[in-house]
Structure 1
Amino acid sequence: MTKVFTNADLLNSDIPGKFFAVLGGVPVLKRDVTPLESQFTYRYGITSGGEGAGYWISFGESMAVMAAVFLDEAEYQRRKAERHAATAGD
């Protein structure tokens, strides 16, 4: 199961904030000795149980994509329902 978010979702606050906490991997991207972070960056992470992973990819300030990958759709739907229940009480 894969869920993709875009920079439009980020602007509309449609991306779960906890998702970014999982994205601890921040590789240094270079072409020879030239850093590329002004052109392209990405972050990645794997959940502690290994049942899911996430990726945040941005191309400068023009485009960004976030993808969440889970072992199965039932797990994704369960977590989505938990998030919804937690925010409904606020």
Structure 2
Amino acid sequence: MGIYKNGRDVLPPTLLKQVQQYIDGELLYIPKQDEQRAGWGELSGSKERLKDRNEAIYQAYCSGTSTDELERVYFLSGESIRKIISKLSRVTS
């Protein structure tokens, strides 16, 4: 998160008065515009790693690995494993 800025320093007076009608004297976070924001996990690579892991889980399941074994290998609950399998089976159908 960036450094806090005083609304008086960055907003035109008329806009500041309008904002004060909704939030007066409290902190307000203004997110970046959509085109400037990276999606969750895109910068860190987490999104791609989870995608690869989920595909590996689905492929192992399709090859005969039981959900109990997948739980042990991936340290996930049975519910999580079933959700991953269900989601990917709909995508590949």
Higher helix share: 2
The normalised TM-score by structure 1 is: 0.23
Q: Select the structure of larger CA radius of gyration.
A: 2
Which structure has greater strand proportion? 1
